[in-house]
Structure 1
Amino acid sequence: MIIPLLWFVAGLISLIGGAELLVRYVSKLALKLGVSKLVIALTVVAFGTSAPELAVSIQASVDGQTDLMLGNIVGSNISNTLFILGLSAIFIPLKVHKNLIKSDVPIMLGITLLIYFLSLNGSLSVWESGLLVLLLVIYLFFLSRKKGHAEIPSVPEEGKDEGGSLLANILFSGLGLVLLVTGARWLINSSLIFAEMAGISELIIGLTVVAIGTSLPEIVTSLVAAIRGERDIAVGSVVGSNILNFLAVLGFAGLFSPNSIPVQQSLLDFDFLVLIAATIACIPIFYTGHKIVRWEGALFLFFYFAYLFYLFLSTTDHKFLDVFINVMIFFVIPVAIITILYHSISEWIWRARYVGLFKTRKEE
């Protein structure tokens, strides 16, 4: 018990240190390369923070542990959307770049729906995994064509290079990623020991312990980015990670699988639907004010913990399960939908009036 606890603490320290290095030097790297921080977040940071999911999923696929692999990917994306964005927004309201709303979030929703429909027959074939890898190549090409430039910095003191050298920024960014992945692995391994000692099933471990563990790089990176004011990185890395989890992680893991990947009906009946609902909710929430404010972050967090509570109740076959489901379906979820729609429609009306007033004044 002592040794897993020590690995847990060491992993936590490694995660925090790695996130601090990554956010600090990736921002400088974007400045040096003359590209937007959003594009860096959607690619470099998202790929780096998705590395644990890729490693766990490929290993699970090779070993035939497909319940763990699929549960990890779906659970990780739920954790990314509801837990990470919610927790980060509670600390500091998150800025959402308009390009995310126009392109990347709809792409994220489209990919989620595509994989759901591909899974309805009960499995994902190697050809369907190949399709996901092809879509990954197309998405990366799309990102490479995206226009965006780094923010113009304040004028530095004479003889002082605020951005630092390109090589140093690359090395320290890489070191941050290594610390993130290493710390996540230590945390996952120690948490798995605790979960197995508690007698938790493999699927639930994949949906919760492993999913949260492999999402730790995104969690810590987003929190550190939000605290440091790098809000494009905070939101962009989560959206990019969700896209890459499906296209890169599931795609490559499927190619390594000796057979088609079976899809559990329980994933289709509940977990996938939770992910789809959370992804759809991102569109109006991101649209209102182009940011995620604290109450919206609290709403995301509430639904994430409600999701975990449901998993606990269903796993233990608790007598409170039916009451909980009825309260969520007939009260909590409708209230949340009405609230989000009200704010979205109010925002749309305000923007329509503002644009109309601006055009009228311009014509005068």
Structure 2
Amino acid sequence: MTALLLVAGLVLLVVGGEVLVRGAGTIATAAGISPLVVGLTVVSFATSAPELAVTLQASAAGSPGLAVGNVVGSNVVNILLVLGVAGLILPLAVRAAVVRRDVPVMIGLSLLFWLMSLDGAVSTVDGAVLVLLLAVYVVWTVVGSRRGDRAEVLTPDDQPAAPEAGRSRRLVVSAVMVAVGVAMLVLGARWLVVAATDIASALGLSDTVIGLTVVAIGTSLPELATSVLAALRGKVEMAVGNAIGSNIFNIGAVMGLTSVVADGGVPVDAAAVAFDLPVMVAVAFVVLPIVFTGFTVARWEAGLFLAYYSAYVAYLLLDSAGHDALPRFSAVMLGFVLPLTALTLVALATYELGVRRGARTASSRGPAGPS
């Protein structure tokens, strides 16, 4: 029965992701909003539905470790795994607006979530603040798009725009497709999480580790399926917007609403405050220089994301098992891999700044006159 749930969940995720991407892409065209903004708002909220359901259920069931681990783990998965896999399929072009606005919002909310957790809980008031900030962000994003500072909208498959009546009809059909896609994603993720959690519990993993790994990956599979299918269909803006927007929604809506609904807020384990939340913040920060260099997540950068996610999961499993290899593994990561990566990112950002400064200088001088 567990194996059947696992397979059925995967099938629903793939089919639901395809339906959602098609519907959301048409909505972007019919409503005059760029695919990036749809990915940052409509698709992100839709694909964050499993995280919200699982986190609310875990909090109500008295498993705060699972609730917090799901949000933190999902945010790590969305960047390292989702963007990693999608970026390997197709280099992900990033609009300047993402670097100016959306990535800093993700970083700011990640830092705020961590700061709120330092006293051992995300209180009801903290949750209300997170929800309010999310609402402001959504309005800001949509209004900015309507003012024309977002990408120019193209019709699906470069088809010409339909007349007004046909466009309204298409908008209704697309909204139904989004709703059906979301339902399939939520049900598929639920079946997959139930099956995977049963397997993980049988292996003796703790609630926090299950939340950070099995449940986080399971509830992030809608984002993974949606971003991968968006990349395969050439909608790279939607793939990037979905991952970044989902992280923003996970903190603002999932953690915020859960903290508001839960009696006395959501307690946060000291180990999560000391390690897992800082990892989430670091992952949010590492996106900035990656997308800043050429406004593209290149294939080698996507591969780096996947390598780091593998190392993160390996650390969690070694720590959970109390394995003798953990000290050596940690020493290699902290003493060699992380510093080398940081130096590489700084060098890339410095080079990019130099290139842009040179381009601006050449542009300001203008074409050389005749001698």
TM-score band, normalised by shorter chain: over 0.9
**Percent identical residues:** 39
Instruction: Name the aligned partner's letter for residue 151 of structure 1.
Output: V
Query: Size of the alignment, in residue pairs?
Result: 361
Q: For the residues of structure 2 that align with 1:149 and 1:261, how far apart are their CA atoms? A: 39
Indicate which of 79, 97, 100 corresponds to 1:99. Answer: 97
Q: Does 1:205 align with 2:207?
A: no
Q: For the residues of structure 1 that align with 2:47 and 2:225, how far apart are their CA atoms? A: 10
The alpha carbon displacement at 1:25 in A equals: 1.9
The residue that corresponds to 2:50 in the other structure is 52
Q: For the residues of structure 1 that align with 2:320 and 2:65, how far apart are their CA atoms? A: 15
Q: For the residues of structure 2 that align with 1:16 and 1:84, how far apart are their CA atoms? A: 14
The residue that corresponds to 2:338 in the other structure is 333
Instruction: Name the aligned partner's letter for residue 114 of structure 1.
Output: L
Indicate which of 53, 76, 88 corresponds to 1:90. Answer: 88
Q: For the residues of structure 2 that align with 1:177 and 1:362, how far apart are their CA atoms? A: 54
Moved more, 352-361 or 294-303: 352-361
The alpha carbon displacement at 1:81 in A equals: 1.1
Question: CA offsets, 1:202-228, max 9 Å, x none?
Answer: 111111110110000001101100111
The residue that corresponds to 2:259 in the other structure is 254
What 5-or-longer segments of structure 1 have no aligned partner?
A: none
Contact 1:79–1:211 (8 Å) recurs in 2: yes
Q: For the residues of structure 2 that align with 1:362 and 1:249, how far apart are their CA atoms? A: 54
Q: Does 1:358 align with 2:363?
A: yes
Instruction: Name the aligned partner's letter for residue 183 of structure 1.
Output: G
Contact 1:61–1:256 (8 Å) recurs in 2: no
Indicate which of 47, 56, 66 corresponds to 1:68. Answer: 66
Please identify runs of 4+ aligned residues in structure 1 that moved more than 3 A. 152-159, 161-164
Q: TM-score, normalised by structure 2?
A: 0.93
Indicate which of 237, 240, 252 corresponds to 1:232. Answer: 237
The alpha carbon displacement at 1:149 in A equals: 6.0
Q: For the residues of structure 2 that align with 1:226 and 1:305, how far apart are their CA atoms? A: 22
Contact 2:227–2:239 (8 Å) recurs in 1: yes
The alpha carbon displacement at 1:180 in A equals: 1.2
CA separation of 1:158 and 1:268: change in aligned 2, threshold 3 A? closer
Contact 1:54–1:248 (8 Å) recurs in 2: yes
What 5-or-longer segments of structure 2 have no aligned partner?
A: none
Contact 2:123–2:266 (8 Å) recurs in 1: yes
The alpha carbon displacement at 1:289 in A equals: 0.9
Q: Does 1:343 align with 2:345?
A: no
The residue that corresponds to 2:269 in the other structure is 264
The alpha carbon displacement at 1:150 in A equals: 4.7
The alpha carbon displacement at 1:156 in A equals: 3.9
The residue that corresponds to 2:188 in the other structure is 183
The alpha carbon displacement at 1:339 in A equals: 1.1
Secondary structure (helix, strand or coil) at the match of 2:57 reads helix
Question: CA offsets, 1:239-295, max 9 Å, x none?
Answer: 110001011001110111112322111111111111111111100000111110011
The residue that corresponds to 2:323 in the other structure is 318
The residue that corresponds to 2:131 in the other structure is 133
Q: Does 1:81 align with 2:86?
A: no
Q: For the residues of structure 1 that align with 2:367 and 2:61, how far apart are their CA atoms? A: 65
CA separation of 1:361 and 1:15: change in aligned 2, threshold 3 A? same
Q: For the residues of structure 2 that align with 1:250 and 1:311, how far apart are their CA atoms? A: 22
Q: For the residues of structure 1 that align with 2:71 and 2:162, how far apart are their CA atoms? A: 49
Moved more, 200-209 or 171-180: 171-180
The alpha carbon displacement at 1:96 in A equals: 1.0
Contact 1:58–1:253 (8 Å) recurs in 2: yes
Contact 1:31–1:163 (8 Å) recurs in 2: no
The residue that corresponds to 1:287 in the other structure is 292
Q: Does 1:151 align with 2:149?
A: no
Indicate which of 37, 40, 53 corresponds to 2:38. Answer: 40
The alpha carbon displacement at 1:144 in A equals: 2.7
Question: CA offsets, 1:52-80, max 9 Å, x none?
Answer: 01111111222221111001100110111
CA separation of 1:157 and 1:86: change in aligned 2, threshold 3 A? closer
